[in-house]
Structure 1
Amino acid sequence: MKDKPSDDWDDMERRRLLQLAALGAGGTVGAEALRRFADLAMTAEPRDINEWQVACADHLYALRKRPPAQVRDDLLYDLLTVRRQADQAHGRHKADLHRVTAALSILYINILTRLADHGAAVRWGRTATAAADASGDLSLRVLVRESVGGSGLYGQRHPATVLALLDQADHLAGSAVAAGTSGTRAKALSLLGRHDEALIALNTYVDHDTGPSPDLIPTYRLPDQVHFAGSWVYAASGDERRADESRAQVLSLTPDYQYTANVQLHEALCTVVQGGTEKGARQAAEVLAALPNAYRTNMITEVGRTVLRNVPIDHRDRSPVKDLAALVTTTPALPPAAI
């Protein structure tokens, strides 16, 4: 005869995990796959903090190298697993697992944003923020808000909302210079056309150490990120020389596929800003068309849309511009969840 209270508890836990998975997965994962995620998380063996650190590093590496739809499933499974493990933990171990939840959530938000599942990304932003706050780790609390803001720049939030999130991060940081937020702030100001302010924020980012990566994901901050911000901001302001220099720096550091495509789109953006509408639109279209569908993420196509938004209205009936418009409005079909 089954232990009825235990069965009831397991059923309640399974329903809670399923609700969490459904809330965070949005439209990218089907109902049957979500049930399998919840069942697997229910039977997963507990992991210590060192094992979770390896998992975080593996997910970050996968995010940078593989199509986002391939990375999504394993990451969601680990998020459900660590959330269940954290609920059952106590003391210092519980705080550590909150830190893991926040770190994995940062990566999952990035994946969801690449997949244009913005509603789910915003919901996991709240999860990441709550987990970081519960951990008591100040640097992680600041980093989560910076990262949530950074994802918001790709068609997910109004840039003014991103600036408000960065203000919260800076308030938490207190007297310390939150250089990482300065890079995201520069990009948001650039999207708003506030180029002088964007340059000031960029200089703050360049002049200060961005700080160490979180110990759970030690390769989170890479040298190419400062140059990437420069490529973005200089291109949007039409500063071709400095945009070219920043782009060359990024490409010399062997960036992931997304940075490679986006700095090339920055070049097209700079061309359009300088008045070369047809040439810039053609450059952007070529970058997008060259990408396999699985790698043409929302974080790339949104930069293509930025190029398009900078085309003067009376030039939008030109053939290269129409070609670009067709590419940035086409969403490649996503494969179903593998688990």
Structure 2
Amino acid sequence: MAREHGVSFYRNGEAAGMKPERVAKVARGEATVTTLDAIERIADALRIPGAFLGLAARPWEHSSPRTHPEADDGDDPMNRRQVLRGTLAASLTTTALTALTETSQSLDLALTADMAPADLSDLEAAAEAYGYGYHGQAPTRFLTGLASDFAELRPHLDSPQPVAARIRVCRTAGQMAGMIAIVLHDLGTRKEARKWFATASKAAQESGDRQLHAWVLAREAMVPINYGAPQAAALLAEQARQVAGNRPTAAATLAAAVAARAYALAHQPDQAREAVTAADTLIERLDAGTRADTWLTHSEQKHHVHLSHALTALGDTRRARASQQRALKLSSQTSTMTRSLLSIDAATCTHRDGDTEEACRRVVSVLTALPDAFRSGLVHHRATDLYHSIPVRHHDERAVRELRDVLAA
């Protein structure tokens, strides 16, 4: 049953406090569970009624009153079936009505057990709303609301949940934790971002949602990309590609685009171009919903933001500029940070084409026009990358000195 419904040994083990290897052996009949404590723990974790395992009714079970001795074993599906067949075949007696009532109550309880608390739906809606990004909010203010809503998931994780509800809780936790990590990354808090990506990855794995797990890994790969470790980024991006598989999904497309950036920065042009081609092929096959402009999907606009960086790093300034222009044209609501990064990529293209003075002026203009909340973190790091790419012999030139001073400030 677990396999049929996509419930992994890992998730069963986590719920019941057992190692996944032990769960697998029990499932295959290679080991047995014999201690009363373990049996009770499994029953409570997986919401198995006590009668199914020879136990008394568990504390969380809602036992219904029994009005006839023949219904004492009514919780046993086989006994209930025999009672129904026997009594209904004879006549509509009190025994038959009692058996029907208990059957109805049992079904009602089973249906209720599969229903998640109402506020979980609200938190799922909140996660979807946060996925639309900053929308002009300062990252710190955005983070405050997101972290506050994430904290409300904790009670759902602490209390026993039906499997279907726990899957929803873990999926929402994975999405929110991943978005918290994205904001921390944008703000330049690299170590904290990595911790939150680890939390998001664990939640995604427990939910069984491979595409969410791949999305988390691909987003995490962007941390070492932007902080000077492209080889580590390439490893994460390739892991994301493997988890996502070959189907045209948002996660698979993002993973390929991020891999292209990582390989370009690591001076592996062949691998970078292969990843660019794969990303372009995948995005052409995405459906309209998957191409929506959110953090959890993969829009064409964001696709070109990634390609802008990859192609700029490859030195393909013609195609990089085309991606920059396309990204800006596709959305009139492009975030302040995204516009800034595209402008710095454009300036880097200008530097690569030989006009370093103009490139420095453009980056200085971008940085000085930004609000304080946007001048640190990712934007600062991307501008610093441009400065470091300028040969030392040019560092005494006025425009280069101005860029250095703005970065230092």
TM-score bracket for this pair, using the shorter chain length? 0.7 to 0.9
Alignment of 1:60-99 (within 5 A): 60-90=131-161, 91-99=163-171
Distance 1:312 1:218 in 2: 36
User: Shift in Å at residue 47 of structure 1?
Assistant: 4.8
CA contact (8 A) 2:256 2:279 kept: yes
Residue 272 of structure 1 corresponds to 351
Partners of 1:83 and 1:113 in 2: how far apart?
23
Residue 221 of structure 1 is aligned with which of 298, 306, 316?
298
1:251 is aligned to 2:251? no
C-alpha deviation, 1:103, in angstroms: 0.3
Name the residue aligned to 2:379.
300
For residues 214 and 93 of structure 1, the distance between their equivalents in structure 2, rounded to whole angstroms, comes to 28
Q: Which amino acid aligns with 1:149?
A: A
Match of residue 137, structure 1, among 209, 225, 235: 209
Instruction: Tell me which residue corresponds to 1:15.
Output: none
The corresponding residue for 1:38 is none
1:23 corresponds in structure 2 to: none
Give the equivalent residue in structure 2 for 1:159.
Answer: 230
* Percent identity for Structure 1 against Structure 2: 23
Change beyond 3 A, Cα 1:208–1:139: same
Distance of aligned partners of 1:290 and 1:315 in 2 relative to their CA distance in 1, 3 Å threshold: same
**Contact conserved, 2:308 with 2:323, CA < 8 A, in 1?**
yes
2-structure distance, mates of 1:181, 1:234: 16
Change (3 A) 1:311 1:299: same
- Does 2:314 align with 1:237? yes
Q: Report how far residue 262 of structure 1 moved.
A: 1.0
Asked if 1:205 is matched to 2:279, the reply is: yes
Contact 2:254 2:298 in 1 (8 A): no
CA contact (8 A) 1:140 1:214 kept: no
Say if 1:326 and 1:220 are closer, same or farther in 2 by CA, change over 3 A: farther
Structure 1 letter corresponding to 2:199 = T
Q: Following the alignment from structure 1 to structure 2, what is the Cα–Cα distance between the partners of residues 290 and 181?
A: 32
Q: In the alignment, what sits opposite 2:125?
A: 54
1:192 to 257, 263, 266: 266
1:322 is displaced (CA, Å) by 2.1
User: Who is 1:101 aligned against?
Assistant: 173
Give how far 1:311 is off.
Answer: 0.8
TM-score (norm: length of structure 1)? 0.77
Distance in 2 between residues matched to 1:225 and 1:118, nearest whole Å: 22
* Residue identity in the other structure for 2:210: L
Matched residue SS, 2:188: coil
Residues 305 and 328, structure 1, Cα contact 8 Å, conserved in 2: yes
Cα RMSD (Å) of the superposition? Answer: 2.3
Whose RCO is larger (CA < 8 A, sep 6+)? Answer: 1
CA distance 1:314–1:290, shift in 2 (3 Å): same
Taking a change above 3 Å as real, the CA distance of residues 144 and 213 of structure 1, as seen in their structure-2 partners, is: farther
CA distance in 1, matches of 2:193, 2:266: 22
- Deviation, structure 1 residue 82: 1.0
